[in-house]
Chain A
Amino acid sequence: MSEFALTHAWLIPLLPALAFVVIGFFTRLDKSISAKIAISMISVSFLLALGVLAAVISGPITMDNPLIQKVLWAKMGTLELSMGVLVDPMTAMMLIVVTTVALLVQIYSVGYMEHDPGAGRFFAFLSLFASSMLGLVISVNFLQMYAFWELVGVCSYLLIGFYYYKISAREAAKKAFITTRIGDFGMLLGILLLQITFGTLDFMELKELVPAYIWISGTGFMTVVGLLLFIGPIGKSGQFPLHVWLPDAMEGPTPVSALIHAATMVVAGVYLVGRAYFIFSALPAVMTVIAWIGGFTAFFAATIAITQRPFKRILAYSTISQLGYMMLALGVGSLTASMFHLMTHAFFKALLFLCAGAVIEAMNEEADIFKMGGLRHRMPTTFKCMAVGVLAIAGVPPFAGFFSKDMILAAAAEVSMPLYLLAAATAFLTAFYMARLLFVAFFGEVREDCPAHETNSYMRMPLVVLAVLAVVSGAWGHFAGFGEWVYFGAVQEEHIDFMIAGSSVLLTLIAFALAYEIYVAKRFSAHLLAQRFGILYTLSYNKYYVDEFYTIVRNTFVDKLGAVLYWFDLHVVDGVVNGLAKGVGCLSCVFTALQNGQAQRYVAVFYCGVIVLVAYSVFCAVRILNLLGGAF
C-alpha cells in the first residue's frame, strides 16, 4: 500500500483537480453531489498522503535522498522543462498537513455552506485550491513550483472574491491578487536569473551547482538572486511590507480563510524558502534579511492584533505574526523549527478559524468581539476547541505550539540576542491578544439579544479532530524525532532548553493573567489603558497606517505618473502615429495623381518605363550584340 502511494504520489494533486473539473463542468448546480465528489477525492488524496508518509518513515527516503519521478514537459531547443514528483520527509509532512486541513475544511464547508446557492462553485474552487497547493508541494523544479504558485494565487483570488456581489469582497480579492503579484514578479526575476546562470531549474541539480558556484564566484550575485527569490515569499506569506492583503482576505467565506491562513496559501512562501534552502543557507546576508523581516513581522503584527476588534482580523494578524516566526526560524538557520511550527500552526490556526466561522455564523455575521460575550454557555463544544487552539498558539505545554515555538526561540537565541528578545516579546503579545479574544468573546455575561447557538455536526466534527491534532501534534513531533526527519545539513538535536522554555511559559502565564484582570475581572479599565497609551493605541488600532501610506504613495506616484504617461501617450505616441498616418496620406496624394484612373496616363507611364529599359539596353549595346552572336 505504501509503495503504491509512493509511486503514485502524482495522483495526490491530480484527484482534487479532477474533482474541480467534474464539479465545474457537470455537477456545479447540485450542492450535495458536488460536496460528495470534492470530499471523496480529497479523502483519497489524504489516504495516499498517509501512504506516502508511512513509506517515507519506514523507507530509505531522507532529506538528502529524496525520491524523484520526472517526465519531460516541454522541450525548446536545448532547454528541457520537466515536471514530476519529489518526495522527501518535508514533502510528506506538507502533504499530510495540506490534505488533512483541506479535508476537514471541506467537511466543515458542508455545514457552513448549507444555505448558500453557490456551494457547488465553492467546492470546485476549494478542490482546485487544494490541488494547486499539493502540486506546489511536490514540485521538482522552480518552474513547476512557480506555475502552481500562480495557480494558488488565482484560486485565492477566486475564493476571497467568492461573494462577488459584495464590493468589499471584490476589492479584497483584487488586493490579494495584486499584492502577491508584486512579490511573484521579484520571484520570477530570481527564477529567470537562476535559469540564465545555471541553465537548469531542477532542485536537485541546483543543489549540486549552487555551492560550487558560490565557491568560485563568491556570494555577490547569488545574494541578488536570493533576495529576488525571497520577494515572492514576502508577498505570498504576508511578510512586512506586503502583509496588507492578508487581513482583508477574510472577506471570503470563513473556511477559505482557514485554508488560506493555515495550510494552503501563506505557507507556500515558507515552504519555498525551505525547499530552496540550499540557496538561502549559503548566503549569510540573505539569511540575515530573512531573519529580521520575519522577526519584525512577527512583532509588528502582534502589536496590531492586540487592539483589533473583529474576530477574524485578530486571527489574521496572528497568522502574519506566526508566519513571521517561521521566517525567523528559517533566517536563523533552523529548517526543522520552521517546518515544525508550520505543521502545528496549520492545525491550530485552522482550528481557530473554523471556530471563528462557527461563532460568526452563530452570531448572524456579527464579527466584533465586544458585541459577543458569554458564548461558552451557548456553544460549549466550540468553546472547548477554541480554548485548545488558544492554549496551543500561546505556547502552553503540552499543547502543540509550545514545542514548536520553543524550538524557534532556542534557535533564535543561539544566533542573535535581539532576535530572541523580539521573538519572546512576540510570544508575550501573542498570549495576551489570544487570551483577550477568548475572554472577551466567550466569558462574561450573555447578552440578551445574543442569537448564538451550537453549530451543526458537520461543523463540530472537524473542530474536534483539529483540536486533538492541536494537542498531540507538538508532543508527537517532539518525541518522535521530527528533527531527525526534516532537517537541513546536519540532524538537529532534540532538546528543551529549560531556561528558554521556562521563561516563555512564564511570560505566557503573565499575559494570560493580565488579560484576565483586564477583560474578565475588569480590575483595569481597557478604555483607560487605551487612553493612557493614546498614540500607541491609535497607531496599532489603525494598523500603523500602512494601507493609508500605500494609498498616499499610489495617489502621488502611480496616479501622477499615470497622468504624465497618459499625456505622453495622448500627445507624443498618438501624435507620432497620427503624424505618420498624415505623412502617408500626403505621400499618397502624390501617387494618386498618377493613379487618376485614365488609361492614357497609364500608357504614358508604361512607355516611359519602356524607354528607360531600351535606353539601358542600348547603353549596354555590346553585351546585347554578343548575345545576338552575329546572326545578322
Chain B
Amino acid sequence: MIDIFSLSVMDIVNWSLHVGLAHFLLLAAVLFSIGLYGLLTKKGIISTLMCVELMLNAANINLVAFNHYRPFQDFSGQLMAIFSVAVAASEVAVGIALAFRIYREHGSIHVDELNNMKG
C-alpha cells in the first residue's frame, strides 16, 4: 500500500499523458456507469432506452480499443462492434415500437407504473 502512495505526482502525470488501452477502458467504464445510473433512476421509458444506448456505446468503445491496442493484424474487434451496432439499432427500433404501444395502452410511458410482472 505504501508504494501506491509513494508514487510521485510526476509519475501520475506521465501516465495520464501517455494515452493507452487503460484510458479507453476507464472511459468506457465511466460511460457505462452513467448509463446504468440513468437506467436505474429514469421514469420515462424513452429515457431508459437512451441510457441503454449509452451503455452499448461503452461496450463498443471497449471492442474497438482492444482491437486497436492489440498486437495482431486483425479486424475482429471492429467487426464485432459493427454487429453490435446492428443489434443495437434493431433493439432501438423494437424498443421504441414497444414504447408506442405501451403509451397507447396505458396512456403513460412511466416505467414505475408498469408492474404487471409483480408476483
Contact = CB atoms under 8 A, between A and B. Distances in A.
A592 B114 CA distance: 16
B114 A599 contact: yes
30 contacts: A592-B118, A592-B119, A595-B117, A595-B118, A595-B119, A596-B115, A596-B118, A597-B114, A597-B115, A597-B116, A597-B117, A598-B111, A598-B112, A598-B114, A598-B117, A598-B118, A599-B111, A599-B114, A599-B117, A600-B39, A600-B40, A600-B41, A600-B48, A600-B111, A600-B112, A603-B39, A604-B40, A607-B36, A632-B21, A632-B70
A592 B40 CA distance: 19
A609 to B, nearest CB: 13
A252 to B, nearest CB: 61
B103 to A, nearest CB: 16
Interface string A572-602: 0000000000000000000010011111100
A599 B111 CA distance: 8
A598 B115 contact: yes
Interface of A: 592, 595-600, 603-604, 607, 632
Interface residues of B, number: 15
B38 to A, nearest CB: 11
Interface string B36-66: 1001110000001000000000000000000
B40 A603 contact: yes
A600 B40 CA distance: 5
A595 B115 CA distance: 10
Interface in B86-119: 111-112, 114-119
B118 A597 contact: yes
A597 B115 CA distance: 4
A632 B68 CA distance: 12
Contacts of A595: 117-119
A597 B41 CA distance: 16
A349 to B, nearest CB: 73
A595 B117 CA distance: 8
Contacts of B48: 600
A597 B119 CA distance: 7
Contacts of B118: 592, 595-598
B98 to A, nearest CB: 12
Given A598-B117, A599-B114, 17 more contacts: A595-B117, A595-B119, A596-B115, A597-B115, A597-B116, A597-B117, A597-B118, A597-B119, A598-B118, A599-B111, A599-B117, A600-B39, A600-B41, A600-B48, A600-B111, A607-B36, A632-B70
Nearest to B113: A598
> What are the 9 A-B residue pairs with the smallest beta carbon separation, nearest first?
A597-B118, A597-B115, A597-B117, A595-B119, A598-B115, A600-B40, A604-B40, A596-B118, A598-B112
A350 B26 CA distance: 106
A632 B71 CA distance: 8
A621 to B, nearest CB: 15
